[in-house]
Chain A
Amino acid sequence: MSNTQSPVPPATPTGSTSSTTSTQPQVSSKPTTTEPLPPLTGFRAALEHTGLPRGLLTWKPRPPSRNWSIFFTVLGTISYLYYDDRKQCRELKKEYLQRVEKFGKEKCEGSLDIPRKVKVFGAKWPEDEDEDRALRYFRKYVKPYLVAAAIDYEQIPSPLYGSITRQAHADINRIRRQNLHLDPPPPLISVPSVLDPEAVRRKDLEGGIVLVGRPSLKEYMEGLRRGWNGDLSPWIWEKEVEKKLNSDGIFDQPSIPPEILDTDSNENYTNDEIFNIPNPDIPSVPKHIGSDARPDSKSSSGGLSFLRPNSSSLFRSNTQTDNIISNHLQKQLETLPPQPPLLLVPFMNRKGFLQIPWMVYDFFTERHHVRTGGEAAMKLIFSHTREFQGPSPAFSSSTSFTMTEGESKNGYSTEGENGHTNQGEHQKSDLDFDQNVEKFYKKSFDELPKRMQKARDDYYPGLKHRLQLTRGEVEPTKDEANSKIVSESELREERKKKELRWMGNEEGYEIVRKETPVAWDEKWRGWLKIYDDPEKES
């Protein structure tokens, strides 16, 4: 029992082990035994004989050591930042979903009711091999709200720089030609769910165009400019490139006669088609633009012979007349038809080693992305539109719509030859959308034309050699004879594919790089619309 043990001297702290007491100068009368332990009190006394170790019963909590404190602080901070950020993301998402759920729960007017549909463009970010980043951003941060609000979306892939430009250009070209009856309208299928063209146009206007990121805006505006200011001849990019390639002479042989310029179709073409464009007989050509899959045969409908790459030179001789006619038509008939409103979604893609701190910051602040995406989706869903603000009129009168080189600070290139203080009177222009992302473009993007040229320089010598092999001008080595034999048309195809990629990228580079301002035309003032919140209007 505790009575038999003598008390521990007060100098030694309580709870010290018997080993420490034995090192201190012996005060007690028993030099060989350990110091008696302090008696246990309270419930510990009751538990003393249960077999629990004494150390457990006399345990007192201690603050952690300095190192552990540091570790727990750091770990706790980081975990809490992550947890809190994701919690806020969830709450934000829930809040936005609640705001729009009611749109999704409306009843359909019939089982063939066509929902509102938007087109989503997400351009390839400079120097990013993955061209899907912008669309992925859209899918993660904007799409859930569109799904809840029963709005359908169509994501249009853009594998190269400038893809959006070319797609927009092709669409506008087609629409213009159809409006002016230069081309037959698409055939109507009489199935209940297919709408007539008028309804399709209305649905398009109700829908909208979503542009994710500043490169998308640049490409799209450039596409608009090319489409509406370009000439009315049918424009299919692949055909244009093929024309250029065929006149390149790489595949020319002295033995092959010059490309088949049929004299019959030439005559058909020159006299009738160009000068009778308003003639309603012309649209009765049965072939539709996209179906000219017979490049080498004589086209029986002579009106479309200019589509064949072979008659490109002939077509060029008539562009003057064509331009006269087209300008005449433009002035008479063409007003800019209403466009579906745009939605601009700010997007930044972090690329590069030096942006890793920014990436870490983004990892911990995903709520900002959720908020941006949610706000953009709300603007689209509640469909409040305002006019697209172009650059201030004082600036634009000096530069019209040519793309200017040189630093453009705010979408106004500072070529203030007029001596106007543009800065003084600048209003917020929508062309400046998300301008700050451009300073984050990788420097290697500027070397893109050089890289394309280098790829060409690497490819063409090999191509020449392979062409000679195919034509039998050169004897194949044993390896070449064993390997797969390619025909000349395959080589042409391969070259065409590669050139499409290189030329597309170069074209897009010119559009997207930071020195190029966003395309704008004075005629567009008051034409385009943009989705925005109602409160922001002044």
Chain B
Amino acid sequence: MSRRRSFKPGETLIRLDRDGANIDPAKMEIATAELDMITDVFNRLVTSCHAKCIAPGNSTRYAEGELLKGEAVCIDRCTAKFFAVNKLVSERMQTMGGTAQVTGSFGR
């Protein structure tokens, strides 16, 4: 008999794995947080590349159901750029975080 509950995102729960032992709730927390982050990044990526490549200028005109080659190339480039920017920004945040720890504030 299976319990059915609606799971809200971010909700921690203690579940039994196959062996019946408890999973460490802290690890579950971390895993859930990471999954949330990944999902968030993915959603942003999809929205922004869709806005730039498939529906430029926010037009909602879909001439073809299939993905066109031009759009595919645009999406390739968009995702590459997105990840590059993501990486740069996170590196910057890390350094800023480092200096913030030392100086005690997020400043320039």
Residues of A within 8 A of B (CB): 103-108, 111, 113, 115, 147-152
Is the pair A148, B69 in contact by a Cβ cutoff of 8 Å? Answer: no
Q: Could you say which of A105, A111, A147 contacts B73, with CB atoms under 8 Å apart?
A: A147
Q: Is B66 an interface residue (CB 8 A)?
A: yes
Q: Which 4 A-B pairs have the closest CB atoms?
A: A104-B70, A150-B69, A107-B66, A150-B70
Is the pair B69, A107 in contact by a Cβ cutoff of 8 Å? Answer: yes
Q: Could you say which of A107, A149, A152 contacts B67, with CB atoms under 8 Å apart?
A: A107
Q: Could you say which of A104, A147, A151 contacts B68, with CB atoms under 8 Å apart?
A: A104
Inter-chain contacts of B67 with A (CB < 8 A): 107-108, 111
Report how far A115 CA is from B70 CA in the complex, Å: 9
Report how far A93 CA is from B57 CA in the complex, Å: 21
Report how far A150 CA is from B72 CA in the complex, Å: 8
Interface residues as binary, B53-66 with A (CB distance below 8 Å gives 1, 0 otherwise): 00000000000101
| Chain B residue with the shortest CB-CB distance to A148 | B70
Report how far A108 CA is from B67 CA in the complex, Å: 6
Is the pair A113, B72 in contact by a Cβ cutoff of 8 Å? Answer: yes
| Chain A residue with the shortest CB-CB distance to B68 | A105
Report how far A502 CA is from B84 CA in the complex, Å: 31
| Chain A residue with the shortest CB-CB distance to B66 | A107
Q: Is B15 an interface residue (CB 8 A)?
A: no
Size bracket of the B interface = 10 to 19
Report how far A103 CA is from B67 CA in the complex, Å: 13
**Smallest Cβ distance from A82 to chain B, in angstroms?**
29
| Chain B residue with the shortest CB-CB distance to A113 | B72
Q: Is B76 an interface residue (CB 8 A)?
A: yes
Residues of B within 8 A of A (CB): 64, 66-70, 72-74, 76-77
| Chain A residue with the shortest CB-CB distance to B74 | A147
Report how far A151 CA is from B74 CA in the complex, Å: 10
**Smallest Cβ distance from A138 to chain B, in angstroms?**
16
Report how far A152 CA is from B74 CA in the complex, Å: 9
Inter-chain contacts of B66 with A (CB < 8 A): 107-108
Inter-chain contacts of B69 with A (CB < 8 A): 103-108, 113, 115, 150
Report how far A107 CA is from B74 CA in the complex, Å: 14
Report how far A108 CA is from B76 CA in the complex, Å: 13
| Chain A residue with the shortest CB-CB distance to B67 | A108
Specify which of B66, B70, B74 lies most central, judged by the most chain A CB atoms within 10 Å of its CB. Answer: B70
Q: Could you say which of B64, B68, B73 contacts A152, with CB atoms under 8 Å apart?
A: B73
Report how far A150 CA is from B75 CA in the complex, Å: 11
Report how far A111 CA is from B70 CA in the complex, Å: 12
Report how far A152 CA is from B71 CA in the complex, Å: 11
Specify which of B64, B66, B72 lies most central, judged by the most chain A CB atoms within 10 Å of its CB. Answer: B72
| Chain B residue with the shortest CB-CB distance to A110 | B67
Inter-chain contacts of A107 with B (CB < 8 A): 64, 66-69
**Smallest Cβ distance from B63 to chain A, in angstroms?**
8
Is the pair A151, B64 in contact by a Cβ cutoff of 8 Å? Answer: no
Inter-chain contacts of B77 with A (CB < 8 A): 152
| Chain A residue with the shortest CB-CB distance to B75 | A111
**Smallest Cβ distance from A110 to chain B, in angstroms?**
9
Inter-chain contacts of A111 with B (CB < 8 A): 67, 72
Inter-chain contacts of A113 with B (CB < 8 A): 69, 72
Is the pair A106, B68 in contact by a Cβ cutoff of 8 Å? Answer: yes
| Chain A residue with the shortest CB-CB distance to B77 | A152
Is the pair B70, A105 in contact by a Cβ cutoff of 8 Å? Answer: yes
Is the pair B72, A147 in contact by a Cβ cutoff of 8 Å? Answer: no
7 further A-B contacts with Cβ under 8 Å, apart from A104-B69, A105-B69, A108-B69, are A107-B64, A108-B72, A111-B72, A115-B73, A147-B74, A149-B70, A150-B73
Inter-chain contacts of A148 with B (CB < 8 A): 70
| Chain A residue with the shortest CB-CB distance to B69 | A150
Report how far A115 CA is from B77 CA in the complex, Å: 11
Report how far A399 CA is from B96 CA in the complex, Å: 61
Report how far A104 CA is from B66 CA in the complex, Å: 13
| Chain B residue with the shortest CB-CB distance to A105 | B68
Inter-chain contacts of B64 with A (CB < 8 A): 105, 107
Is the pair B68, A150 in contact by a Cβ cutoff of 8 Å? Answer: yes
Inter-chain contacts of A151 with B (CB < 8 A): 73
**Smallest Cβ distance from B77 to chain A, in angstroms?**
7
**Smallest Cβ distance from B47 to chain A, in angstroms?**
18
| Chain B residue with the shortest CB-CB distance to A104 | B70
